[in-house]
Amino acid sequence: MACVAVNAVKLKITNKQRNELLKRVEVEFQISHESEGTPSRIEVRRSLASILDVDEERVYIKKIETKAGMNLSIGKANVYDSPSQAEYVEPEHIILRNKPKTKEEGGE
């Protein structure tokens, strides 16, 4: 599958499956982050969108999990056919986690 490196972070898609009922592609991936912490959902979302050649608004990161003491994370994401389909299907908390934080919320 596809693999892309950004800085010292490598993202590799391990599984990709189409779900016609929910009009999305379900993606599983691995992130190798040598000498760095786990990348943020926003960074991973941006990288996945560029690998899959889709708009960032259609990509929703469901989970990123890092084992203690390892430089490898595994995760799951959903890539929808349209942003409106994503808002219809995805739970509210997942949508909020995938949006950049504003200055009022303590973000950048």
* 85 part of a folded domain: yes
Domain that holds residue 41: 3-100
pLDDT at 98 over 80: yes
Do 30 and 67 contact (CB within 8 A), yes or no? no
* 107 part of a folded domain: no
Number of structural domains (the chain) is: 1
End-to-end CA distance of the chain: 33
* 105 part of a folded domain: no
* 108 part of a folded domain: no
* 29 part of a folded domain: yes
The CATH code of the domain that includes 28 is: 3.30.70.330
pTM for this entry: 0.83
- How far, in Å, are 31, 33, 64, 69, 93 from residue 72 at the CA level? 6, 6, 10, 9, 25
CA-CA-CA-CA torsion sign (90, 15, 48, 35): positive
* 8 part of a folded domain: yes
Determine the Cα–Cα distance for residues 11 and 54; give it in Å rounded to an integer. Answer: 16
Do 88 and 97 contact (CB within 8 A), yes or no? no
Q: Across-strand partners of 26?
A: 17, 78
Q: What is the pLDDT of residues 7-51, one digit of tens each?
A: 557 889 999 999 999 999 999 999 998 878 888 899 999 999 999
* 51 part of a folded domain: yes
* 61 part of a folded domain: yes
pLDDT at 2 over 70: no
